[in-house]
Structure 1
């Protein structure tokens, strides 16, 4: 895909539709009114813009509840999430309360990991497109680690996630500086992208919201052995 064609196409990997709308990364709903200095956009088809819109407020609400009272989380929840709780027959409220159960000292709210995965895959692909002016190639698999959520993974998996967290805690090394999307509102959202430029290997994206809610997105490139078997 040449640069001119890439500039016209949707940002989402594998989509050949024209980018007729603008997708905000992160979504506008994550920023208080008057503080939208960080409204980066990529071209998107209608499907990949509208399909994820129902996830945005759900993910924001969960992030705020898991980050509060740190930094701006409580303020953003009150301004951006609370007014939406009763819209569309309490749809957002019902989504958040689904499966809730009492625990000592309060209530626990189960997380819809499928919604989170869809949201962070789209966000990661948007950041890649913004940094490289090209979509993520099709030979990458995307997965995410949500460090603030209580994990029911086994001890080996927890140790692996903790090691990944420590290794990527900081600025990328010079030779792994994949690209900078030029984010500005660091009190709301920051991101670091680690990877060899030009899609030469796997990529790691470290998202941080309100300075405390951390998500590591692993974009793993699969290289085939001779004969077509994946490594």
Structure 2
């Protein structure tokens, strides 16, 4: 594992951070996945962000968090996750607005009774600040989230895939339940219009949770 991250294109701090992330994930998934699988997922997750992130110091943390999500997805696919809770994946183009608001409401309302993920077909560097503010008005902090791509195992592990504006670029796998939410893209919109999109997303998330048998207040 050390040789993977001791490369000339990484700073010493990045190398150390990735090695620390690898150790954390190895302990977390001990008995589920071997070192080689964890190393591969962490490395490919790092590559996903390296080409577009401007703050290089955050790359190892983003890679660790994304690798953790992907490994959890793989565990579900391979029958190594016995939790049985439904997984819902929210997809849009940039993973900076609609899908992040949907995930924020879903996580807040579902708690530990379901798992929510999000992704984008063309993820950008950061979440739309106006979207963050609109969600903060509802008491939901989404600043810990970050735009990310979708991967095959994440889509395959989901029970429901909700698409929002990504059209033919959204992945389609047989046997999945797909919902297409026709919602305005909040990019470049004033906060008043974003609030309208936000409120419609909340309504749809509550309806979806009801269909999944998860009551909300």
Q: Same fold (TM over 0.5)?
A: no
Task: Calculate the TM-score normalised by the size of structure 1.
Answer: 0.29
Which protein is richer in strand relative to its size?
1
Point out the structure with the larger helix share: 2
